[in-house]
Structure formats: C-alpha cells, structure tokens
Structure 1
Amino acid sequence: MTKLMPKFEQHRTDFAYCQTITKRSSSAFYTAFSQLPLERAWSIYAVYAFCRTADDLVDVDHDIDGLMALRQSLTTFANGHVPDHPMWRALAVVFETYDMNLDVFFDMLTGQEQDATFKQPQTQQALEDYCYYVAGSVGLMILPMLATNPQPLVKPAVELGSAMQLTNILRDVGEDYQRGRIYLPSKLLAHYQLNPTDLHGPIPSANFIRLWEHEAQIAMNKYEAALTMMPQIDPVARPSLLAATLLYRELLLIAREQHYPILSQRVFLTDERKTQVLNQVSTKVHELALKEA
C-alpha cells in the first residue's frame, strides 16, 4: 500500500469527497489523472471539485447567488481562512504542497459568471478569451501537479485547456442551442452564411460542417501546441497528461467519422476507443523516454 504524506492521510475523507465528484462527472478526466501518484491525483481531484461546483451552480442550479457565495468563499480562502467544507480542506492541503496560483481560480469564476449572464461571442477572439477563463485557467490550476518547473509551460497549458473547451463547444452545439446558448461567434456564422436556427438540426448543412471544421482545426492546432510541453512535464505525470489530451482530441475525430451528429446528440468514446487511445499514449510515452535516454 502506497504511503501518503501525513497531511494527505489526515484529510483522506476530504479528498475522497473530491474524488467521487471527479469520477462521477468526467470519465475521461478521471481515467487520465487517476493514474498519477496519489498526492498528485488527489490534488487534481480537489481542483476539479472546485471547478465542477462552480459549473454546476451555473448550468444545473442556475444559482447566481450561489456562484457569488463561492467567490466570497474563495476570497476567504485567499485571506488564509479555510471554510469548513471537504473541498476547501482538501484545497488547503494542495496549496500547502504545491506552488499554486490563486488568481487563476478567480479567473475561472469570471468565466462561469460570463456563462451565467450569457451573450453569444461576436468574434473568434471573444470566444478564445472565454475559453481561457473557463478552461485555460484550469490548465494553469493543475500545472503545478504535473511539472516541477511550471512557469515556462504557462502558454501551452492555457492552449490545452482552451483546446478542450473548444472541443466541448463543438461536441455540444445542439445541446447548447436547446439551452439558448450559441458559443460559435456571430461573425463566424455570418461568414459561413448561417443563421442561429441552422443549429437546430438534426442534419448539419454543408456550411455548418465547414464552420465546424474551421473551429476544429483551431482546436487541433492548440492541441499540437500543448503537446510541445510534454518533455518538460515530470515523467511520472506524462502518461496522465497525454491521456487527457488524446482522449479529448479523439472526440473531434469521432464527430467527423460519425458525420457530425452534434446537432442532435453528443459523441462519446466507447470503452474500446478509450483503450485504443490509451495504447497510443503508452507508445508515445515510450518514444519520449527513448529520446531522452
């Protein structure tokens, strides 16, 4: 049995609470990061629990007051007082252990506040700014658990989070439309001669497919930029980060293979497809190790 650092052992129940949230809410994320050494994995679960709490307050509970209360709790935490809750107690251990940046936690809440008062972005830059706040910030939150020297990796970590958020948007076009949200920029829709009602589906038009592929290429470029940081990621963390990257990226390939069903349903990875991706991860990790030998 792996021996934990004492402060993690003392808060085992608090971290278990965060782990349950992560496992229940994101199978791809959990599949990837559950392979880390326990302290690193548990720390990422605590960060994820914070992000999921904020996200659910907006998307599930529609509770703007609750989101403001979460921001106040974060301010309390920033001032050195740990709220009496499993998530906060776990995060306190994380902040004691790793060189964490509180600013990016506030940034993520800013992104959630943008969702709570949603307005369709007009430009690609506005969309990418939003992607930073809700997901690029998350890349920066977990970076200290992945790299001993995280500072040089800030840009690719943001690119990875943003790529994942663009993937979410491209996966959920139809679902978001039904909820009254269009994340694809209005100027981009106009460029491809699309109206908002063209997102109603269920069959995507040729122009929609061209728009989708335009955004998918931007996401793929961001994934490629993110992969450049892999040699500077701690070797023990590389398999998990590669798995998270490739599992998410695979969703774009699946959507294309299935002829873009995203206006009427989500695409997802079957267990067989996950296994194929994880086999790719093992190969890439081995290749990287050989290069460094």
Structure 2
Amino acid sequence: MTTRELDAAGIDDLRLRAAYSRCRRINAQGGATYFLATRLLAPAQRPAVHALYGFARYADDIVDDPDAYENTDARARDLMALRASVDEALATGRSSHPVLAALAHTAARYRIDPAYFTAFMRSMRMDLDTADYPTWEALRSYMYGSAAVIGLQLLPILGTTVPRREAAPHAASLGVAFQLTNFLRDVGEDLDRGRIYLPADLLAAHGVDRPLLNWCRRAGHTDMRVRAALREMIGLTRGIYRHAARGIRLLDPASRPCVHTAFVLYSAILTRIEAADCAIIARRTIVPRPYKTAVAACGLASATAHRARHQHTHSPLRRQAVEGAAT
C-alpha cells in the first residue's frame, strides 16, 4: 500500500497499515484487471477495496490453491476456522489476522452488512463438495454468495447519488456478470479441478454433458455442441451486463471511471470468446495488453478530469457516510 493511499484514507495505526498493505499486494498479484481498475479510484477509497479483494482471494486460495493442501478435509478445516475468525472480526471490529484486520476495519468504517460475508463463506464451502449445478437457478444461488455480494460490499465504498437500495440490484448484477465471464473464460481450467460452472440443463439442451466436456479438454477441441451452449451462456451473461450497466450512472461520479473501466475490460473477454467462435476449451481467453492499456488510459483521463473539477468538494469518505445515512 502506498503511503499516499493510507494517509488519504486516514489509516494511522501501524498494524492496520501493514494489513492493508498486504491486501494490496494480494490484489496486485492476483487480480490484474481488478487492480488496474482500482487505480482509477480516489486514493482514499483504494485501501478499502484492496481489503475486500484481499480477503476474498485469501478464502479462494484455501479452496483452490493446488499446492497448499493434500486433501479436501484439510481445506474444509481451514475454511471453517476462517469463517469463525471472520465472524469474530466483524463482531469486534478488529483482528490479529493480517488480512482480517483490514477487512474488519473496512466493514466497520463503511457499515457493510456482515450477512454479505456469511453468504460469501457459504459459497466458498460449496466449492469443496459441489462439482456442478443442475439448473440456472442453482448456479444463481451459488453466485449470490460468491459474486453478487462482492458488488454489494463495494457499493458503500464507491458511493451513490441515490439511496443505496436503488443501486444495490445493479451492483449485485455486476458482480454476477463478472463471475460468469470468469466461468466462461476458465471453463477448461475448472474442468481440470473437476468443476463445471455451467447449468447442466442448459448444457443438456445442446447435447452436452460432463464426459463430452472432458473429452474436449483432453483433445484440445471444442465440439460444436459445446460452442452452442457457450453462445447461449454468453447471451445470458450479456443480459446481466445490461442490467448492471444501468447502475453505473447511480454511482458517485468519482467512482464511475473505475467501474466503467472494469465493465469494459471484463465484457471484452466475452467479445474475445465470440471472436474465437467459442473454441476455448483448450486455452484461456485473454484481452490483449494494448487494449487494456488504452481502456485504462481513457478511464484515468476521466477520473483525473473529475478530480480536477471537484477538488474542493466533499471527500469520498465523507460522501459515503452521508449516503449511508440515507439508506
């Protein structure tokens, strides 16, 4: 964490500064697109966003890090211990854990509903014993905890120009749209872990099942039936993006360049998948760095212009407190 960001956020305690700095490193190392978009926020907002990402990534690594555990029982034990530590940290507003300390401070400062973190941990636990989802509704239930609540957690930090409850459905949709994009991008890697994050009924409607997906992965060839199913999933995902997009204008203007940049970069993954005719089982779809740089540059110009116009107005921290009181 840069000193400027911590100072701007008013974080003086040395242990907290160390915790926030660790979360920032986790974000920088694990979420390239997310971290890039975060750089467009005001310095005072960034530590809190890093704290949320750092916690989510920490929990996700317990579930998915291939080198950290020998068996699922050990993962489940550590995940259960983490959930207990999260509950305690949120209840007391503090923790000796190097990641949870920043999370507890952020949750208390922005009055983030603890239920969002409970839902998140529930979905993380599902990843240890749920390998596929029979219906779209079942997948959406999982994604509420794994993705929708991420958007809801971020909303108090980003700030809104309307009562927060009006922007909340769109923020939840953005989290879901981003995760569905990741599912489509990572379908081959998820198969390697034994998981399928595509509804079984949607796949079956196109003649696709787990054996066919596994064959495609081994052969390095995406069957036409699989491509048809992926195209349908892309259509569903784009519909959720459209709902999410309507919420960007409801955010504090200072936060819009960040969210719009993330929106553009993540949705570009879908465009790349379509450009490859959905032949993606054998390789991970990526957005070229020059495109990322160009989109980020536009976002930075917009964010810089806004700050220049409003340098004498309320800080994002004070604004979110006012908005929180209106909910």
Task: State the match for 1:7 in structure 2.
Answer: 11
Residue 126 (structure 2) pairs with residue 114 (structure 1): yes
Of 212, 219, 228 in structure 1, the residue corresponding to residue 230 of structure 2 is 212
Residue 204 (structure 2) pairs with residue 221 (structure 1): no
Of 77, 101, 109 in structure 1, the residue corresponding to residue 113 of structure 2 is 101
Q: What amino acid sits opposite 1:98 in the alignment?
A: Y
> Alpha-carbon deviations, 1:224-256, whole Å to 9, x = none?
111111121011111111111111111111112
Output the CA distance in 2 between the equivalents of 1:228 and 1:126. 25
Output the CA distance in 2 between the equivalents of 1:184 and 1:16. 36
TM-score, normalising length: structure 1: 0.91
Q: What amino acid sits opposite 2:182 in the alignment?
A: N
Output the CA distance in 2 between the equivalents of 1:197 and 1:241. 38
> Alpha-carbon deviations, 1:191-227, whole Å to 9, x = none?
1011312213222122211110111111111111111
Output the CA distance in 2 between the equivalents of 1:6 and 1:162. 32
CA RMSD, 1 decimal = 2.2
Task: State the match for 2:267 in structure 1.
Answer: 249
Residue 262 (structure 2) pairs with residue 262 (structure 1): no
Output the CA distance in 2 between the equivalents of 1:125 and 1:283. 40
Task: State the match for 1:132 in structure 2.
Answer: 144
> Alpha-carbon deviations, 1:86-129, whole Å to 9, x = none?
22222233134213111101111111111111131111111111
Q: What amino acid sits opposite 2:101 in the alignment?
A: R
Output the CA distance in 2 between the equivalents of 1:104 and 1:207. 37
| TM superposition shift of 1:168 | 0.9
Q: What amino acid sits opposite 1:65 in the alignment?
A: R
Task: State the match for 1:175 in structure 2.
Answer: 189
| TM superposition shift of 1:259 | 3.1
Aligned partners of 2:9 and 2:43 also within 8 Å: no
Q: Percent identity?
A: 28
Which of structure 1's runs of 4+ aligned residues deviate more than 6 A? 282-286
| TM superposition shift of 1:280 | 6.1
- When residues 208 and 78 of structure 1 are mapped into structure 2, their CA distance, relative to the original with a 3 A threshold, is same
| TM superposition shift of 1:275 | 2.5
Task: State the match for 1:162 in structure 2.
Answer: 176
Of 87, 98, 101 in structure 2, the residue corresponding to residue 75 of structure 1 is 87
Residue 207 (structure 2) pairs with residue 193 (structure 1): yes
| TM superposition shift of 1:82 | 2.1
Output the CA distance in 2 between the equivalents of 1:166 and 1:224. 14
Q: What amino acid sits opposite 1:4 in the alignment?
A: A
| Long gaps (5+) in structure 1 | 289-293
Q: What amino acid sits opposite 2:21 in the alignment?
A: A
| Long gaps (5+) in structure 2 | 307-327
Q: What amino acid sits opposite 1:160 in the alignment?
A: L
Moved more, 14-23 or 258-267: 258-267
Aligned partners of 1:261 and 1:267 also within 8 Å: no
> Alpha-carbon deviations, 1:167-208, whole Å to 9, x = none?
111111111112111121221121101131221322212221
Output the CA distance in 2 between the equivalents of 1:41 and 1:6. 12
> Alpha-carbon deviations, 1:138-172, whole Å to 9, x = none?
11111111114422111111111111111111111
Q: Per the alignment, in what secondary structure is the counterpart of residue 121 of structure 1?
A: coil
Output the CA distance in 2 between the equivalents of 1:122 and 1:108. 21
Task: State the match for 1:58 in structure 2.
Answer: 63
Q: How does 1:31-42 map to 2 (within 5 A)?
A: 31-42=36-47
Aligned residues: 287
Output the CA distance in 2 between the equivalents of 1:101 and 1:177. 34
Of 290, 293, 296 in structure 2, the residue corresponding to residue 272 of structure 1 is 290
Aligned partners of 2:93 and 2:104 also within 8 Å: no
Task: State the match for 1:291 in structure 2.
Answer: none
Output the CA distance in 2 between the equivalents of 1:8 and 1:213. 50
Q: What amino acid sits opposite 2:54 in the alignment?
A: A
Q: What amino acid sits opposite 1:84 in the alignment?
A: S
- When residues 210 and 280 of structure 1 are mapped into structure 2, their CA distance, relative to the original with a 3 A threshold, is farther
Output the CA distance in 1 between the equivalents of 2:38 and 2:285. 22
| TM superposition shift of 1:83 | 2.1
- When residues 9 and 235 of structure 1 are mapped into structure 2, their CA distance, relative to the original with a 3 A threshold, is farther
- When residues 122 and 258 of structure 1 are mapped into structure 2, their CA distance, relative to the original with a 3 A threshold, is same
TM-score, normalising length: structure 2: 0.82
Output the CA distance in 2 between the equivalents of 1:159 and 1:109. 19
